[in-house]
Structure 1
Amino acid sequence: MSPSPKTLYEVLGLAPSATTDQIKTAYRKAARATHPDHGGSAETFHVIAEAYEVLSNPEQKAAYDLRLGRGSAPRPGTTSGPASSARTAPTRAGSGPAQDVLGNAPRFVPDFSPGSPPVLPLALAGQQVHGSPRRPGFLSRLGSSAGARFDGENLTIHLLERTLLPDYPAGRLVNGLHMPDRSPRGGNLEVGHVLLGGYRMAVLESQVASPGNYSWDGRHLRYRGRDVNIGRLPDAVRTLQDRFPECNVSGWVVLHSPNGNPFEPVIDYPPSLSRSAPAMVHVANAGTLQRELRRFFNDGPQPNVVQLQVLGGLLDALAR
């Protein structure tokens, strides 16, 4: 005789009396442990995400508790959410075959209905691009990298708006973030762009680069033998990974050519560095960035999900 499927509470390792904060904490811990990008099972991760989707929504949780035989009837007009029974069996994540699935229609999590209003206003939830680069002052643009960064950020936005976002309805680009640094360095972080899609997040820092060849060994970017400043991109990746453990966060330094050639500057890699291997930070020119981001999101679990709570957290970090 096979054992009964676990309840959603058991999936997250919780008692039915768990508080909202306990549910969130358990989900974040379970998501970190089971995320497919961190060696976990896509099937288990999908079940955990579904459990949290129900238990984090007061109306769906009340209806679910009623089916478990505890709690009171939900208010008229509320929905029972995606769980079709009080106990749940693992279901396969709908990642589909290894092909480009980014063009599929987006699915919002948590879902919303007339009885369950969205976490974000619909106008924000449906918008693909949010915020704008922070313009440096006149003096800041003189003799510094601030102008190159500002110009590069605008080029990255235009590039993604033209080449990736039209093909990726679930992609959400947030520009010009300001957030506390959770790394030991402390202080505040100025983040150029975050591209959110499914359970993956790309952190992008942009600049217009001098012509010529650059070298990247996975840690240091060099030009004519000298280190190139990539800002605090690694700290931003660590901070966002800590804040949103349900996501797989990676960073990209985007180098734009002053002459508009998308495949310049050329970036050289040592033979020992695999360009397709997982890494905290990558370097790309405008031409290779499109291909790398498309592969990054396409290979992730449920790439067409729009995580409204994560998106809301990013929007809260927009520089005012």
Structure 2
Amino acid sequence: MPDASGASPYDILGLASDATDKQIKDAYRRAARTSHPDLGGSEELFHAVAVAYETLGNPARRQKYDAGNGTRRTGAPGAGARSSQPRAAARSENTEAAKAPPDYLPPFSPTEPPVVPLILAGRQLHGAPRQPGIFGRMAGAARARVEGELRTAAILEQSLLPTYPAARLINGLKFPNSAGTTAGHAVLGGYRIAVLDSFAATPGNFDWDGRTLRHQGRAVQGLGITNTVREMQDLFPECNVSGWLVVHGARGNPFDPVIDSPPSFDRSAPSAIQVVNAGTMVRTIRTFLAAGPQPNVVQLPVLARLLGAAED
């Protein structure tokens, strides 16, 4: 059915009524990026794009729509439309909304069941932290990663999930894409995804300048979080994806290790990657998720794809 502006799903995505499945998917990816509130769009337009794809991206729903609405209508909102709501007020409302019970999208009914069984969609915790193979257990880096991921998962479960009802934590992800993308954890909240990798560190301070992480003056090697965030952003164009590298130090002290940055580094500026200790992890992730549009929404199609990558 057309949206309130009179635009059909085809109009919203800029498609002809005989568009192929690939053309629909490609148009959706482009529209999701340009209409996302985090990238200069508006919540209203972004929601319209999501609903349009829910209709046209599902063959059965598209057939049903075409049968009942044979004529396309014009009047699609422009991709550059902006929300008139002041951003500060929107952030305040979103913070309160994050405390609300979750809403599930798209709507479902007995005749159109949800893409994720409700018993799974209602759970906040899914999957288990990754485990190394027999040779990985012998390597110090693998042991440090496993210990870090176990500690991160425990903190998120105990401190983030109880305070954010719509948040969904998925541990141990491996996607069947060409890059073989893996991630220690992903937290879905609204239209945002926080991706996390972790490791347990030996004593000593760290330095992070936004590009390179150094420990005791030496660059830390083998960090793939930047590539992971870029690959997951491609996998989930409808979401804003950002990354956290969590460094765990001494047990019992969540603010160890200290992570220093040069005076010129702006910690308040938006960044695709944050390097944090356990003491700042939950606060910064909650702030990121709650600042997005409709933070109390659980996107069932996105959750389904994340669950498909979880290694139980």
Same fold by TM-score, threshold 0.5 exceeded?
A: yes
Conservation of the 8 A alpha-carbon contact between 1:189 and 1:232: no
Conservation of the 8 A alpha-carbon contact between 1:189 and 1:236: yes
Q: Alpha-carbon deviations, 1:126-147, whole Å to 9, x = none?
A: 2211111222245533351111
Residue 108 (str. 1) matches residue 104 (str. 2):
yes
Q: Secondary structure at the match of 1:145?
A: helix
Aligned with 1:173 (options 157, 169, 172): 169
**Structure 1 portions without partners, runs of 5+:** 72-84
Following the alignment from structure 1 to structure 2, what is the Cα–Cα distance between the partners of residues 118 and 140? 39
Residue 98 (str. 1) matches residue 91 (str. 2):
yes
Superposition pairs of residues 24-35 of structure 1, within 5 angstroms: 24-35=25-36
C-alpha displacement at 1:30, in angstroms?
0.5
Give the helix-richer structure, 1 or 2: 2
Conservation of the 8 A alpha-carbon contact between 1:181 and 1:239: no
Q: Secondary structure at the match of 1:303?
A: coil
Q: Secondary structure at the match of 2:46?
A: helix
Q: Alpha-carbon deviations, 1:178-208, whole Å to 9, x = none?
A: 23565xxx5x343211111111111100111
Conservation of the 8 A alpha-carbon contact between 2:43 and 2:83: yes
Following the alignment from structure 1 to structure 2, what is the Cα–Cα distance between the partners of residues 290 and 87? 43
Conservation of the 8 A alpha-carbon contact between 1:53 and 1:109: no
AA aligned opposite 1:110: P
AA aligned opposite 2:235: R
Conservation of the 8 A alpha-carbon contact between 2:203 and 2:257: yes
AA aligned opposite 1:295: T
Q: Secondary structure at the match of 1:203?
A: strand
Residue 218 (str. 1) matches residue 210 (str. 2):
yes
Q: Secondary structure at the match of 2:41?
A: coil
AA aligned opposite 1:14: L
Aligned with 2:127 (options 124, 131, 135): 131
Aligned with 1:297 (options 284, 289, 296): 289
Residue 11 of structure 2: aligned partner: 10
Following the alignment from structure 2 to structure 1, what is the Cα–Cα distance between the partners of residues 102 and 228? 27
AA aligned opposite 1:167: T
Conservation of the 8 A alpha-carbon contact between 1:257 and 1:264: yes
Distance 1:263-1:190 versus aligned 2 partners, 3 A rule: same
C-alpha displacement at 1:10, in angstroms?
0.6
Q: Secondary structure at the match of 1:98?
A: helix
C-alpha displacement at 1:167, in angstroms?
1.5
C-alpha displacement at 1:306, in angstroms?
1.5
TM-score of the pair, normalised by structure 1:
0.83
Distance 1:212-1:119 versus aligned 2 partners, 3 A rule: same
More displaced, 213-222 or 172-181? 172-181
Calculate percent identity across the aligned residue pairs.
51
Residue 282 (str. 1) matches residue 281 (str. 2):
no
Following the alignment from structure 2 to structure 1, what is the Cα–Cα distance between the partners of residues 305 and 84? 25
C-alpha displacement at 1:88, in angstroms?
7.7
Aligned with 2:115 (options 112, 119, 138): 119
Residue 316 (str. 1) matches residue 308 (str. 2):
yes
Following the alignment from structure 1 to structure 2, what is the Cα–Cα distance between the partners of residues 19 and 109? 24
Conservation of the 8 A alpha-carbon contact between 2:13 and 2:27: yes
Residue 195 of structure 2: aligned partner: 203
Conservation of the 8 A alpha-carbon contact between 1:47 and 1:91: no
Q: Alpha-carbon deviations, 1:120-170, whole Å to 9, x = none?
A: 222222221111122224553335111111111111111111111112122
Conservation of the 8 A alpha-carbon contact between 1:207 and 1:254: yes
Count matched residues: 300
Conservation of the 8 A alpha-carbon contact between 2:41 and 2:82: no
Pairwise CA RMSD: 2.9
Distance 1:61-1:138 versus aligned 2 partners, 3 A rule: closer
AA aligned opposite 1:130: H
Conservation of the 8 A alpha-carbon contact between 2:11 and 2:74: no
